Amino acid sequence: MAGDPVSSRLATSLCGIALKNPVLAASGTFGYGVEFSSLVDLNKMGGIVVKGLSREAIAGNPPPRVFEAEAGMMNSVGLQNIGVQAFAKEKLPLLRRYQTPVFANVFGYALEDYAEVVRVLEDHEGVAAYELNVSCPNTKHGGIFFSSDPGLLGQLVSAVRQVARRPVIVKLSPNVGSIQPLAVAAEDGGADAISLVNTFISLAIDLKTRKPRLGAGFGGLSGPAIKPIALRMVFEAARAVKIPVVGLGGIASGEDAAEFLIAGATAVEVGTATFWDPRSPLRIAGEMDAFLKKERIDSVRQLVGTIEWKKA
């Protein structure tokens, strides 16, 4: 039976931000938060990472945008959003009514895009920290992805760091040969924490039409299918840096979340699970509390990085 999502056992912090529990709603899966207020008690959540914000509004990709894969989900929404100015004017005032920390996910296609979105948000109250989605191609550098080039990633984080007074979290992509150099580059650039993983590039085909299942062709694979890989990458990243790590990728239960903390994460984000159960972040936090109680663990912080690992 699930426990209390605001139990004292679950209290923790991330980059100096107090969290009622270590389970956050992941960007792109929980709207701007306020849309779920009639379904979920937002005041009990550990945190809300709003969907990605850009300098200008973006319409997104053509439908279909979502496809149910085996043990997971593929999506190609195309980072649809209302733009940072509209978010600050229309959504942020509503979010300020709640006691839950709000993390603004930020993306762009040039260093200046990221810096400008953060600059706008710096003028408004109600944002606890920024999460930089670096899984975008840099259009000024021939389409090189920020997430796959340590040098470019370091420059991006440094540029944002010069503008941001709030903590900066860098969300890393799993679509790289090795995660450690990217984690270190984010830390060296001035990141206060890193989060990982984002979705895996994937493809599904309709046998009858012989066309991709998604309107944009490729999509991002998430859900339980990616959990073992995400867990491995969180473990590797946590060992490579000294800053906190936020783990995500296929978390569907309190036990899943606990595994990520044991691997080295300070907190976790829940995404795909909210599509079939909007209360997933609260349910998972409650299940984690029940696990702690059963194991007689006084604080969730006692789990972090406790994996027993011996090289062969």
| Active site members | 136
Output DSSP code: residue 35: G
For 90, 148, 155, 160, the CA distances from 118, given in Å and listed in that order, are 17, 22, 15, 7
Contacts of 44 (CB under 8 A, 6+ apart): 5, 6, 20, 100, 282
5 close to 21: Cβ distance less than 8 angstroms: yes
27 close to 52: Cβ distance less than 8 angstroms: yes
Residue 24 β-bridge partners: 47, 269
Contacts of 298 (CB under 8 A, 6+ apart): 9, 292
Output DSSP code: residue 58: B
